[in-house]
Amino acid sequence: MATGSTKAVYAALFGNLGIAITKFIAAAMTGSASMWAESYHSASDTANQILLLLGIKLSKRPATDLHQFGFGKSQFFWSFVVATMIFGISGILSLEQGFSSLLGEEHHFENPIINYVVLAIAFAFEANALRIALVHFKKPITERGEKIKFSTMYSEFKNSKDTSILTVIVEDTAALLGIGIAAIGILLTDITGNTQYDAISSIIIGALLMSFAFFLAKENRGLLLGESVSLEQKQLIISVVTAIPEMHEIRNMKTMHLGPTTIIVGIEVNLIDGLDTDDIETVTDVIEQEIMKIIPKSKKEYIFVEIER
């Protein structure tokens, strides 16, 4: 069964594939620099979604003796590759197209109505893909019983480790902004006859893509290096564990994301006096169960409880 992330990626993939083909045809017919930039952008996004799907598929491989905690970080790796592709392909090509048009000979520009139609269609497809991604992005918020508002959306975006759906949201947002910038450049060129506006739009699109790529690369880099759970999750784990009657104090706790929802937890605790071996085993099970309530989509075998004697 496809997960929310997978559905969002598929929606973006099919939308971008059709959009890329249409944009390349429009760019070739009209000669618009900003339309060429948008063509590179959509082509790159199409390849990116294929890589995201590859990452999701590889992350589900069972654990082996060599990779005993599984392959969940495959999603982080391929999302990082996607970020570098946005920078290396879309961003640089868009900048190159814009600067060559701005500093070189005036490029030909004709039939702008084709660009308007294509950009309008692209906007509709990208907006729908973003809508689907946001529907799945909001699910964890509603599952926690919180209201959908700007503060909860911002907090979820900041703390989410589902890099696949975050990448789709960032890509689709960048795509909508890029379409708007391209439309303005084409309109100004159409009105004034000055193709420099079209070229400048291409440069702005390139800079925009590089900024988004840097953000995605930074997020995925942290997860690849072993990022811990969010501060909110850490505080929840501490609160439920310290609420156990036999608990004296938590000496130490370390966590790390092995995947978007799979987390390794190592916790060292000190219990009250007077507990026998059976009591300690029971408390250990309770600690594991309480932690699983906070990270229900993880695995119990990845929780390690050490009792300080």
| SS3 label, residue 158 | helix
d(CA 129, CA 134): 9
What letters, b where the CB count within 10 A reaches 16 and e where it falls short, cover 104-125?
eeebebeebebbeebbebbbeb
- Give mean pLDDT, residues 33-51: 84
Let me know if domain 231-308 sits in CATH 1.25.40.10.
Answer: no
Mean pLDDT computed over every residue of the chain: 86
Which of 71, 95, 48, 68 is closest to 211 using CA atoms? 95
d(CA 252, CA 51): 38
Angle at which helices 74-85 and 196-224 cross, to 10°: 160
Quote the tokens at residue 257: 């994301």
Q: What is the pLDDT of residue 107?
A: 59
In this predicted model, which residue has the larger pLDDT, 303 or 100?
Answer: 303
In terms of Cβ atoms closer than 10 Å to its own Cβ (0-12, 13-18, 19+), residue 21 is: middle
In terms of Cβ atoms closer than 10 Å to its own Cβ (0-12, 13-18, 19+), residue 91 is: buried
- CATH number of the domain located at residue range(s) 4-224 in this protein: 1.20.1510.10
Q: What are 269-289's pLDDT values in tens digits?
A: 999 988 888 999 999 999 999
Q: What are 147-165's pLDDT values in tens digits?
A: 888 888 888 888 888 888 8
Does an H or E element contain 207, and which?
helix 196-224
Q: What is the pLDDT of residue 159?
A: 82
- Give mean pLDDT, residues 66-91: 84
pLDDT above 50: residue 196: yes
Q: What is the pLDDT of residue 3?
A: 61
d(CA 295, CA 242): 17
d(CA 56, CA 75): 6
Residue ranges of domains in the chain: 4-224, 231-308
Helices (H), 69-111: 74-85, 92-103
Entry pTM: 0.79
